[in-house]
Amino acid sequence: QVQVVESGGGVVQPGRSLRLSCAASGFTFSKCAMHWVRQAPGKELEWVAVIWYDGSNEYYVDSVKGRFTISRDNSRNTLYLQMNSLTVDDTAMYYCASQNSGSIQFDYWGQGTLVTVSS
Amino acid sequence: QSVLTQPRSVSGSPGQSVTISCTGTRSDIGTYNYVSWYQQIPGKVPRLIIHDVNKRPSGVPDRFSGSKSLNTASLTISGLQAEDEADYYCCSYAGRYSVLFGGGTKLTVL
């Protein structure tokens, strides 16, 4: 049974940092690219970042480049998102999603962790 | 503003068919067959229902189908059921490792 569980969200002041985690099980984590996708309250989905199955490549949406860092620990089946210099525009539900094939798609999603950036 | 354009809302009666369009550009939908669709029931997690333009993951009813023509992708839901009421999002790869979502379409089953 596939399980994807995010954690680490919360309320943070603008300019501060937060680290999200995503624990996966039920599939071969080390063979899957992993993504972060976010959704601001009442808004559409927005792709944030991807990391290759082996961590060899990572890519970001322009709005978070230089501020966010995606990483993974395949020994722990865990994905991370380090978020620095947060702004109010980063307020969103952050979903971890797996890409379980060579195609670019989001197969399994976690329940999300809410990040609220507010003074 | 979303780069992939979807109608804000569509509606249909039970048993009818509805089609949701997703318009991109030559640089995304027009070039790549990495088009996927997600169903999101309010308050719930998105669910993959179509990938690679027209492929259904196991467990997704064959009432859901996808297609693409030039720069526009489409999701058709036939035999509408009350449980289909949700938000639907298209998604496309856009090259140079960029992934775009549509603005979402709210489907109302009358």
- pLDDT at B6 > cutoff 80: yes
Which residue in B has a C-alpha nearest to residue A111's C-alpha? B45
Residue A92 has pLDDT above 60, yes or no: yes
Q: Report in angstroms the alpha-carbon separations of A32 from A19, A24, A43, A67, A74.
A: 21, 11, 27, 24, 10
Gap between the Cα atoms of B35 and B19, Å rounded: 16
pLDDT tens digits, residue range A24-39?
999 999 999 999 999 9
The whole-angstrom distance between B104's CA and the closest CA on chain A is 6
Q: Which of B48, B98, B100 sits opposite A106 (nearest CB)?
A: B48
Q: What percent of chain A has pLDDT over 90?
A: 97
Check residue B12 and give its pLDDT. 96
The answer to whether the Cβ–Cβ distance between B34 and A103 falls below 8 Å is yes
Interface-testing mutation among B3, B52, B56, B97, with chain A (most A C-beta atoms within 10 A): B97
Residues of B in contact with A103 (CB under 8 A): 34, 36, 51-52
Beta strands at B86-93 and B72-77: parallel, antiparallel or unpaired: unpaired
Interface residues on A facing B, Cβ-Cβ cutoff 8 A: 35, 37, 44-47, 50, 57, 59, 61, 95, 101, 103-107, 109-112
Helix (H) / strand (E) element for B104: namely none
The beta strand positions in A15-91, using DSSP E, are 18-25, 33-39, 45-51, 58-60, 68-73, 78-83
Q: What's the pLDDT band for B96 if we cut at 50, 70, 90?
A: confident
- Among positive and negative, which fits the CA dihedral B26, A35, A6, A108? positive
For chain B, give the percent of residues with pLDDT over 90: 94
> Token pair for residue B80?
């509408």
Give the residue from chain A lying closest to B2, CA to CA: A44
Contact residues on chain B for A107, CB-CB shorter than 8 A: 48, 57
DSSP assignments along B50-94, one per residue: EBTTTBPPTTS-TTEEEEEETTEEEEEE-S--GGG-EEEEEEEE-
Residue B25: predicted pLDDT: 95
Average pLDDT over residues A66-90: 98
CA A22/CA B12 separation, integer angstroms: 38
Q: Do A47 and B34 touch (CB under 8 A)?
A: no
Q: Which two tokens stand for residue A87?
A: 């702004």
Give the pLDDT of residue A101. Answer: 86
- Write out pLDDT tens, residues B26-37: 999 999 999 999
Tally C-beta pairs within 8 A across A and B: 58
What is the per-residue pLDDT across B48-83, written as a single tens digit (0 to 9) for each?
A: 999 999 999 999 999 999 999 999 999 999 999 999
- pLDDT of B1 above 70: no
* Cα nearest neighbour of B58 on chain A: A107
What average pLDDT does chain B have? 95
| Residue A109 to residue B46, Cβ atoms within 8 A | yes
Instruction: Give the pLDDT band (50/70/90) at residue B2.
Output: low
B100 to chain A, minimum CA–CA distance in Å? 7
Nearest to A24 by CA among A51, A44, A56, A42: A51
| pLDDT tens-place string over residues A43-66 | 999 999 999 999 999 999 999 999
- Which of B45, B51, B101 comes nearest A105 by C-beta? B51
Q: What is the pLDDT of residue B74?
A: 98
CB B38 within 8 A of CB B89: yes
